[in-house]
Structure 1
Amino acid sequence: MSIQKRIQEQLNKREQQGNLRRLKPEREGADFFSNDYLGLAQSPALARVVAERYSALEKPRMGATGSRLLSGNSALAMRLEQKLARVFEAEAALLFNSGYVANMALIASLAQKGDLILYDELVHASLREGYRLSFADRKAFLHNNLSDLEQKLQSARQTHAAGCVFVITESVYSMDGDNAVLADMVDLCNRYGAYLLIDEAHSTGIFGQNGNGLACELGLQQHFLARVYTFGKAIGAHGACIVGKQWLIDYLVNFGRPFIYSTAMPDHTLVSIDAAFDYIGQHPELNMQLRQVIALYHELAAELRLPEGVQLICNQSPIQALVVPGNDRCKALADSLMQQKCLALPILAPTVPAGAERLRICLHAFNTAEEINRLVAQIARFFA
């Protein structure tokens, strides 16, 4: 079989299943689908601050020109890492080009042959990519199920006594928007001597003091071997960082292949990240507005009358979900919302398991009461 024929068959199968992915042009309407939770990616005020700081650099560079270990390092990057370490209450921080790359580098370099990785069954694809690249054994535990996690930790005492055991979780899960049970998870890992790793992608900027994440908000930050924070969501920029002890950062500089062999982020991105954290600290009203939007959505959505099998999932994070089983039905709901200028995208199998297809509703500080009312009213009409 030719490679073209094999690829075409795979694409045809996806199309028949109703889940063929396509790039789509920019759409107009109320934003209920982006990760720009605080509106910083489109903030003219923040953009002006970034422009001023960038133009004030002594020698601004359009590109980093190389990896951090070659020509891509700068005083700007090192100062930002020091600042991020303070923000996230850690000993040290290391910048990465994206959260995907950071997660992949962290897990693939830390976990060795003879080790065991225990991961929540709903963790992000980037975390899965990391454990696939490692030589460690791996097992999933049921989502937020402490009994299942403890059972696997007990078993690991016999099966991997000579190795390290890593437990991987997220603070806020990207599909349902629910929080991990962090305090109990910390207790379990401390009791069994396991190392806890956390992806704070969807809590960065939203939880904690000046947006330093859920672990910091709960006062648990020192119990994690490593924490990953990303800047392409509520921070409105791009990139990510890993924080932890200095020895961990030194190790990643030497053994984190995606860090070693990637061109560094450009100066403009570094300035954008730096300015965004200052802006969040100066504008606490953004998070207050976001909380008000979430509360209004919960109030209105509680009145929805949904058919059997359709499940409303409400959370205190910006991510809400409406489980609508079946790719076709879920897409039909999204299309009906789009006609009313409400942009909420369907999440289809195989991104989620078949039967768990859902509308992922992202709320933002800039969503108006009229937009929330229109969104919920159209959902009600669709199921009437």
Structure 2
Amino acid sequence: MVDLPKKLQKKLDERASDGSLRQLSFPSGLVDFSSNDYLGFAKNETLFSKTFQLLLKHNISQNGATGSRLLTGNHFLFQDLESKLAQIHNTENALVFNSGYDANIGFFGCIPQRGDFVFYDELVHASIRDGLQLSHAKSYKFGHNDLSDLKEKIKNTLLDEADVEVYIVTESVFSMDGDSPDLKQFASFCESEGYRLVVDEAHAFGVIGKQGLGLVQDSGLEKAIFARIVTFGKALGVHGAAVLGSNALRDYLINFSRSFIYTTALPPHDIIGILSSHEFLAAEGKAQRSLLMDNIAYFKSQAKKMKLAANLVDSDSAIQSVIISGNEKTRKISAKLNDDGFDVKAILSPTVPEGKERLRFCLHSYNSKEEIGLVLQLLAKYI
């Protein structure tokens, strides 16, 4: 076997020496405090059965899409799904992508143009950053959830620029801190200045709002947002994503988004799974969200009781992060909790800034109060 180039081996060795080398692991069978399956849909046998029945109803026996959607892969089920998404999300249209990552690199890689400006929250997901690297627009980060800093950055950056498009990018629930911006303030600012607001709803869709349709709709801001990205691989328990917006936005993405154009489409049974999961969300989502919200409140109250509040990042979402600081210490505590039967992942630098290493607890509707209480009791002892 040909050796790895020395430059690449050096990078691997550096990761190993500072304790940040990533490795793959298999499902552990431990108590789940790490997956994005917030409502338990991914493992739900009733949903699995309903999906199978829907496959039979539509007489789907095709294994693969056979090509990109612009060639041979545009199954009629895509139209059904995108029409449904537009209806439930109160938007003109939708375009389905193979994943949230594909949606973000496809959107940000082609929408902002040369001469445009993009201002993004400093904690946005890597997929957004990667998409912006493919763009010819100039991009600048602003302080996390800090509208004042955004205004200052725009003031100091645009100067005498005229007739340029400005895009403001944020998330409705951030994946590492689990917190949210004041979307109404951001939307009001963008509307007053003629800027285009883009919101990634990956960790909010299915969980936030009376119907679980995300923070944008819960805030009544559908008409104020240029584009929303919703993903199906988290609370909905399946796979894929969609960009929500105008008919013209959809047309542009079909023509210029490279991650849409140059990839094989999702197979029909995946689309059936997404449709089935949406039906299940409408029928069972309210009950599961209620259980999840009870668990979030209980987790926070128990953390305070066990004097962990100072380490806890302020969040009302299913993502609850406990700052430990230091890769080695964080990994050791995670390993101890694993030995005790709890799957709690260590989030290390460089994924998060140095000094902000943490244990990230992803809470679910199916976690019991006993599990939450015990894992926090052990964590308090180890800290």
**TM-score bracket relative to the smaller structure:** over 0.9
- Aligned equivalent of 1:288: 290
User: 2:119 aligns to what SS in structure 1?
Assistant: strand
Q: Distance in 2 between matches of 1:338 and 1:26?
A: 12
Q: 1:42 to 1:162 in 2, by over 3 A?
A: same
- Aligned equivalent of 1:21: 22
- Aligned equivalent of 2:142: 141
Q: Distance in 2 between matches of 1:377 and 1:311?
A: 14
1:56, distance to aligned residue in structure 2 (A) = 2.1
Q: TM-score, normalised by structure 1?
A: 0.96
- Aligned equivalent of 2:79: 78
Q: TM-score, normalised by structure 2?
A: 0.97
- Aligned equivalent of 2:356: 356
Q: Distance in 2 between matches of 1:160 and 1:82?
A: 39
Q: 1:91 to 1:63 in 2, by over 3 A?
A: same
Q: Distance in 2 between matches of 1:50 and 1:370?
A: 32
* 1:364-379 matches, cutoff 5 A: 364-379=364-379
1:156, distance to aligned residue in structure 2 (A) = 4.6
1:162, distance to aligned residue in structure 2 (A) = 2.9
- Is the contact made by 2:145 and 2:181 (CA closer than 8 Å) also made in structure 1? yes
Write the deviation string for residues 115-172 of structure 1: whole angstroms up to 9, x where unpaired.
1110000000000011100001111100011111111233454353232111110000
Partner amino acid, structure 1, of 2:370: E
- Aligned equivalent of 2:323: 323
- Is the contact made by 1:93 and 1:244 (CA closer than 8 Å) also made in structure 2? yes
- Aligned equivalent of 2:305: 303
Q: Distance in 1 between matches of 2:336 and 2:154?
A: 46
* 1:233-312 matches, cutoff 5 A: 233-283=234-284, 284-306=286-308, 311-312=311-312
Gapped regions of structure 1 (runs ≥ 5): none
| Farther-moved stretch of structure 1 (156-165 vs 38-47) | 156-165
Partner amino acid, structure 2, of 1:331: R
Q: Distance in 2 between matches of 1:325 and 1:278?
A: 42
Write the deviation string for residues 200-230 of structure 1: whole angstroms up to 9, x where unpaired.
0000100124321110001011111100000
Question: Number of residues paired by the alignment?
Answer: 380
Q: Distance in 1 between matches of 2:256 and 2:194?
A: 24
Partner amino acid, structure 2, of 1:73: N
Gapped regions of structure 2 (runs ≥ 5): none
| Farther-moved stretch of structure 1 (318-327 vs 292-301) | 292-301
- Aligned equivalent of 2:313: 313
Partner amino acid, structure 2, of 1:324: I
Q: Distance in 1 between matches of 2:21 and 2:158?
A: 43
1:70, distance to aligned residue in structure 2 (A) = 0.4
Q: Distance in 2 between matches of 1:102 and 1:29?
A: 32
Q: Distance in 2 between matches of 1:354 and 1:316?
A: 24
Identical residues among aligned pairs (%): 40
Write the deviation string for residues 325-371 of structure 1: whole angstroms up to 9, x where unpaired.
10001011111111111111010000001111010100000001111
Partner amino acid, structure 2, of 1:320: Q
Q: Distance in 1 between matches of 2:120 and 2:50?
A: 40
Partner amino acid, structure 2, of 1:300: Q
1:59, distance to aligned residue in structure 2 (A) = 4.1
Q: Distance in 1 between matches of 2:4 and 2:338?
A: 37
Alignment RMSD (CA, Å): 1.4
1:199 aligns with 2:180: no
- Is the contact made by 2:68 and 2:74 (CA closer than 8 Å) also made in structure 1? yes
- Aligned equivalent of 2:347: 347
Partner amino acid, structure 2, of 1:68: R
Q: Distance in 2 between matches of 1:316 and 1:214?
A: 13
Q: Distance in 2 between matches of 1:159 and 1:327?
A: 45
- Aligned equivalent of 1:45: 46
- Is the contact made by 1:298 and 1:314 (CA closer than 8 Å) also made in structure 2? no
Give the ranges of 4+ consecutive aligned residues of structure 1 lying more than 3 Å apart after TM superposition: none
Q: Distance in 2 between matches of 1:153 and 1:136?
A: 14
User: 1:241 aligns to what SS in structure 2?
Assistant: strand
Write the deviation string for residues 87-112 of structure 1: whole angstroms up to 9, x where unpaired.
11110000000001101111111111
Q: Distance in 1 between matches of 2:151 and 2:306?
A: 38
Write the deviation string for residues 181-205 of structure 1: whole angstroms up to 9, x where unpaired.
1111111111221111110000010
